[in-house]
Amino acid sequence: MTTPRESAIKAARQAGLLVSERLGRIRDIDYKGAYNIVTDVDRDSEELIVSILRSDFPDFGLVGEEGGEKQAGSPRRWLVDPIDGTTNYTHGYPFFSISIALEEAGRMVLGVVYNPLADELFWAEEGKGAWLNDRRLAVSAQRSLATSLLATGFPADTRAAPDDNMIRFFTLTDLSHGVRRDGSAALDLCFVAAGRLDGFWETKLSPWDVAAGIAIVSEAGGRISDLSGQPFDIRKGHILATNGLIHDEVVAVLESLKGRRLAEIGSGEDSN
Ligand code: IPD
Ligand code: CA
Ligand code: CA
């Protein structure tokens, strides 16, 4: 009998093949609202994933970013992001993933994130550890923010949003080895799990962006909260994921920036 893990991995790999074969051959680019891009490949990838998961587990609920929704209120449901990193995908920037999670009574019990171009399959199952292909993952042992590498992301509506994340990006860049902005929250979380990053934060993410990554970071020994260090709430989507060791230090910085905007700091002395 197929297990949920086998089914999710099969779906992620098949969707990864479809998405990578069609890179550079997008037929339609549409906008969901003013800023969110969606392509024909996002839709076809979701259709393929949904057909596999539904045929293996017809009783499970499912929520997909591109509208696939079946029995969404059931106690076991799949959360599917058919391309995480659509902006990158649209531009041919090679950093995107397929993300599939299984939620059971509010807990993320299984997460699969696949980067098809690197052929990196990240997965975790509750109590069974986090894995990259056949290698067991553990978060980094970095103890200090000053020597940490971080990542963040910006909401699609950043030019219009009052909380634009710029002040956090600016401040934490100076306080660490740097802040990457790579454009796939699911992969950013996997990189924390793999110890390639020591921490990641972003606001206003959707459940399908983070669900699989949360399972993977947790099983790799990392810590997840909101930006204030309080329990993460998937309905709000404000997430801080770290190796655990630098968590309180990052929270203290984020708290000190609460309610502030970069514009307040001003441009300072002009060195030119
Ligand atoms: C986006 C990516 C990106 C993050 C955005 C998300 P999408 O997901 O995860 O890294 O910064 O906030 O919306 O739209 O490419 O599936
Ligand atoms: Ca996404
Ligand atoms: Ca997506």
What tens digit of pLDDT does each residue of 70-101 get? 787 789 999 999 999 999 999 999 999 999 99
∠ Cα 168 220 211 (to 5°): 65
Q: How confident is the model at residue 164 (pLDDT cuts 50, 70, 90)?
A: confident
Q: How confident is the model at residue 240 (pLDDT cuts 50, 70, 90)?
A: very high
Say if CB 214 and CB 237 are below 8 A apart. no
3-class secondary structure, 189: helix
Encode pLDDT of 176-192 as tens digits: 999 999 999 999 999 99
Separation of 139 CA from ligand 1 center, angstroms?
Answer: 23
Show me where the domains of the chain are located: 4-136, 145-267
Separation of 99 CA from ligand 2 center, angstroms?
Answer: 8
* Cα distance between residue 43 and residue 49, in whole Å: 10
What proportion of the chain, given as a percentage, has pLDDT over 90? 82
Nearest listed ligand to the Cα of residue 41:
3
**Which one of 3.90.1150.10, 3.40.120.10, 2.160.10.10, 3.30.540.10 gives the CATH number of domain 4-136?**
3.30.540.10
Instruction: Out of 5-14, 32-41, 50-59, pick the least confident.
Output: 32-41
pLDDT higher than 80, residue 202: yes
Residues with CB under 6 A from ligand 1: 65, 81, 84-87, 153-156, 183-185, 202, 205, 209
Tell me how far CA of residue 18 lies from CA of 45, 51, 240, in angstroms: 7, 14, 31
Burial label for 16, CB within 10 Å (0-12, 13-18, 19+), is buried
Radius of gyration of the chain measured on its C-alpha atoms: 18
Say if CB 205 and CB 239 are below 8 A apart. yes
Token pair for residue 179? 């802040």
Strand partners, 114: 98, 121
| Residues noted as catalytic | 65, 81, 83-84, 86, 209
Separation of 129 CA from ligand 3 center, angstroms?
Answer: 26
Global confidence as pTM? 0.95
Q: Which atom belonging to ligand 1 lies closest to the Cα atom of 209?
A: 9
Nearest listed ligand to the Cα of residue 86:
1
pLDDT higher than 60, residue 267: no
| CATH number of the structural domain 145-267 | 3.40.190.80
Encode pLDDT of 48-74 as tens digits: 999 999 999 999 999 999 987 778 778
